[in-house]
Amino acid sequence: MTTSTQPAKFRKRVSPDLRRLVGSECASLSGSAVSTVALPTLAVLDLDASTTQIALLAFLGQLPNAIVALPAGAFSDRHAKRPLMIAADLTAAAVLVTIPAAAFAGVLGIGQLYAVAVVLGIAKIVHSSASISYLPVLVEADLLQHANSRLGAASSVADSAGSNMGAALVGAVGAARSILADVLSYLVSAFLVWRIRTPEPAAAPAEGRGSLARDIGEGLRYVAGQPTIRTVIAALSTLSFGLAIMNTYWAYYLLAGLRMSPSAFGVMMGVGGAGSLAGALLAPRIASRIGIGPTIIIGFAVSPLAQIPLLLAGPGLAWQLGLAAALATQLFWATASGTSQRSLRQTLCEPRFQGRMQAASTTLTAGARPVAAAVAGALVLLLGVRGALAVGAVLQTVPVGLLLLSPVRALREMPSLLARTAVPPAREGAS
């Protein structure tokens, strides 16, 4: 199918329900970006939190990604996804509104922020597990790539706008009151999901179900038995580990080691965001031109290459411009690859395993980050900051090898639905 006809076909066949799902994701992401700025600001400026308390707050916010994703994925495969998304959004709104309420009453403490971080993290995981696996219900299989592209582009804009709005709101009305914007965003998200009318496939009857633990095990075995899906998830988790090592000291290295000013750092992040947006928008066209497999592999291969300027850089405007260009290139291909590999996994995965497949990916990628942060600390003691960054960059070459040895290398077009059932597992995804 040519690139000239595919976007027009997508626009013609896109459903209002997909627009509502995209709007829901944008609303919750933009609000979450506000809270990402407001919560640590509130802890530091209003509650005088120590560095240990700030670290614990960040850790608790990430903890549900590692321990709740698998049960949430199995739960979303058992039940209708739309009510789960609505319940998660309403839970997030309810727990967040307690912060400005407690601040107004003068009883807000760091313990409450800890509790909010945990509950909010769980709500996000439940919503994410349901929404990602809900997309194939709303969109025909041959248009998943374009749907993920639209979702990725909208999410990129929403996240960037939310971060800027969060900084502005914190300065204008204070950190506690600014969280009301996130409360509103979750209510809007719940309303948009409530308006979705596309029916879902019927879930298995309750009397025929096993335990949740059995469902989780069944999902893990399914993922392990699919060569393309398991290789892509393994590549994602390895890349996440390498990036997490670098991200632990990345900002510190730029600001302290290379003496980059905060304003220059912000501009560089903005340029990187623009690259991510372009990658999301152009992902379907790139995949149509060079093939779905090469798009995925190039995205992984560019990541370690883009770290070379960082490892060689010194202070000065010329290096700052080079680092901004490298970041934009990295995020362009990372987003193009990300929408492509997500679409590939959704296409190949059987509907009854969608939630558990996504949950396995989330658990492995997010679960690697706390471990990577600890490894980064040890590496800095042994090798220094630049040495730790170099180790993280080298680790990012490993997933490229995994993908080159997998069926992904031979993929030029998105597999048909028949590939799920007609192709034996050992040959799944091969051309």
Q: How far is CA 134 from CA 73, 129, 262, 333, 361, in A?
A: 12, 9, 40, 25, 16
- Residue 88: what pLDDT? 92
3-class SS string, 58-116: HHHHHHHHHHCHHHHHHHHHHCCHHHHHHHHHHHHHHHHHHHHHHHHHCCCCHHHHHHH
Which tokens belong to 20? 């509502």
DSSP code at position 204? P
Q: Residue for token digits 């066949």?
A: 13
**Between 409 and 253, residue with greater pLDDT:** 409
Say yes or no to pLDDT of 430 above 60. no
- Residue 38: what pLDDT? 80
Q: What does the DSSP assignment read for 339-397?
A: HHHHHHHHHHS-GGGHHHHHHHHHHHHHHHHHHHHHHHHHHHHHHHHHHHHHHHHHHTT
Q: What value does the mean pLDDT of the chain take? A: 80
pLDDT digits (tens, 9 = 90+) for 93-150: 999 999 999 999 889 898 999 999 899 988 988 888 788 777 777 777 666 667 777 7
What is the average pLDDT across 311-328? 89
- Residue 188: what pLDDT? 93
Nearby residues of 204 by Cβ (< 8 Å), 6 or more positions away: 78, 352
Residue type, 176: A
Which tokens belong to 13? 């066949």
Using 50, 70 and 90 to split pLDDT, how confident is the model at 397?
A: very high
Q: How far is CA 431 from CA 109, 227, 397, 412, 415, in A?
A: 58, 13, 25, 8, 9
Say yes or no to pLDDT of 429 above 60. no
| pTM, 2 dp | 0.72
Count Cβ atoms below 10 Å from residue 354 Cβ, excluding itself: 25
